[in-house]
Structures are given as C-alpha cells and as structure tokens.
Amino acid sequence: MSETGDYTPPKVWVWDKESGGRFAAINRPVAGPTHEKEAPVGKHPFQLYSLGTPNGVKVTVMFEELLAAGHAEAEYDAWLINIGNGEQFASGFVAINPNSKIPALLDRSTAPPTRVFESASILLYLAEKFAAFLPMDHHKRTEALNWLFWQMGATPYLGGGFGHFYAYAPAKIEYAINRYAMEVKRQLDVLNRHLASHEWMAGDEYSIADMAICPWYGALVRGQAYNAAEFLSAHEYTHVLRWADTFFARPAVRRGRMVNRITGDPASQLLERHDASDFVLHTQDRIGAQAEGAT
C-alpha cells in the first residue's frame, strides 16, 4: 500500500491482499454467504438482526418509541449480529439482506414473511405500518422524507469517508482526512442552519428523520463518534447540539441505544432483547453484579 501519493493503479484491479485497517478481515469484493447458519427466530412477529452501531440504533430507537407510544404490537426480538466476527455473512442473514449489512428485519406478521433491509427502508416501513413518527400533513411528511434520504446519501461521507480515514485506516493520509473533514463540516453546517429555526428535522414534529440522522451527527457533535468532536470544532454547531441533547434524553432513545450494543460501559449494553422486561432484568442483573463485586 502506498501512502505517499506515488501509487499508480493497475489496468485491472485484483484483490490479492487485505487493505489494512480495523475492518480489513471482513472486507471482500464479493457478495453472498461464507457459511451456513440459520437466522434465529423468537416469539414476536418482528425479528431484528442488528448491532448497536448508528445504523442499528436507528431501528431499535424506532421500536422503543413505538412501544412507548402504546403500540404493543411492535414488540420485537433483537438478535445480535457481530459484524466484526463476520456474522453478517451467515446464510440465514444473507437471505434477509443480500447486501450483508445490518440492520435487517423480518416481519412475520405477513404471509409470507416480509424482509426489510436498509435502515431507512425499515424506518419507513414501520412508520407506515403503525402510522407513527411520520407526519400526516403533506408538506411535513415530504420534509421528513427529504431529510431521511438526505441522511442516507450524506452519511457515507461521514462514516466510510471521514470516520474511516480519521479513526480506522492503517495510516493517516492528510489528503483523505482533509477532504472528508471538509465535507462533514459542510453537512454539520447544513444541519445547524436548518435546526436554527426548527425544533426537529421535519419542523415541530419528532419523526423518523430525527431517528435516522441523530445517531450519526448528534453522536458526532457530542463526542461519541470517532473521538473527533474537538478536531471538527463541534462546539460551533450549537443548534445541532441542542437537538442532539434533546434526542438523547428521550427514554425510548436511551433504551434503544442499549440494544445489541457491545462497546462502552457494560451497564449500557443489552446484547439481545426479546421482551420489554429485558430492560428491568438487565438493570437488576447489573445492580446485583455490582453489589456482589463490592463484597
């Protein structure tokens, strides 16, 4: 690999070695399963296969918000897919999402079951199924969808671009970091200008647009992504910070961020979720473990 700018691409690219970086062991130029393993199935109609990354958090937050709003039929089973171990390439997962990315959802309330993949598609699917968190008013609904799809188009520059080269790449490449830092700051400015005159992304209604964008950009400005808040002068985006603080303070958001989480404080992790009572049992287990450790 060249980091000095003297690399000349060959006429035909060939995958003959790992590219390096944190996720090199699971990156490959072909699709399809690498091993046979059925996807587990629980007792609820909704089966979610995911990990507590920003894309995964979008959907668990949506489910928890639906339940908090009284939609009891939105109960779900959340199964941990550890992408660092290549679990997204299991045959059962690939059958639900041929793109081998989390999150993936199987709705078993339909005949035959409906597979839903891509986080925005899942959010929109659930919003329409439950008539919730997507404004009914024509203009507000369109605005929510504008921002939902803005996130899907913009965030690869944040995650796969800035995040990769700033935090995960095997070498610090000035050109790449500068290129993507510039674009991420431009995106933050887009959000900051919009939120200066809007409570939520779609106006005065909390929606799936907020659930899609805030796990990425809200976490970034709060110093919870790539350890890059100081580098990006995140304190300048005061309206994004206000919005992010309000979002992350919501009880359903706090619950949703725990599900399928494998990093951070163990007390904030609920590796798999199969019932609303799991949060109570999880808390009791943590308290019990802490008490035992103190004796």
- Which residue ranges make up each domain of the chain? 138-255
Place of tokens 């473990």: 289
pLDDT of residue 285: 57
CA dist list (Å): 70 to 104, 147, 208: 24, 26, 17
pLDDT of residue 293: 45
**H-helix or E-strand containing 98?**
none
8-state DSSP, 32: S
pLDDT of residue 29: 92
Q: Is 156 helix (H, G, I), strand (E, B) or coil?
A: helix
Strands (E), 81-153: 104-107, 114-117
CATH architecture of 138-255: Up-down Bundle (1.20)
Q: Could you tell me if residue 4 is left (phi over 0), alpha (psi between -120 and 50 degrees) or otherwise beta?
A: alpha
**Between vectors from CA 216 to CA 284 and to CA 278, what angle results, nearest 5°?**
20
77 CA to centre of own chain: 17
Place of tokens 């024509």: 138
pLDDT of residue 283: 59
pLDDT of residue 282: 72
pTM here is: 0.93
Place of tokens 């990006």: 232
Residue type, 10: P
Contact 107, 116 (CB under 8 A): yes
Q: Which residues of the chain have pLDDT under 50?
A: 1-2, 287-295
Place of tokens 């007792």: 43
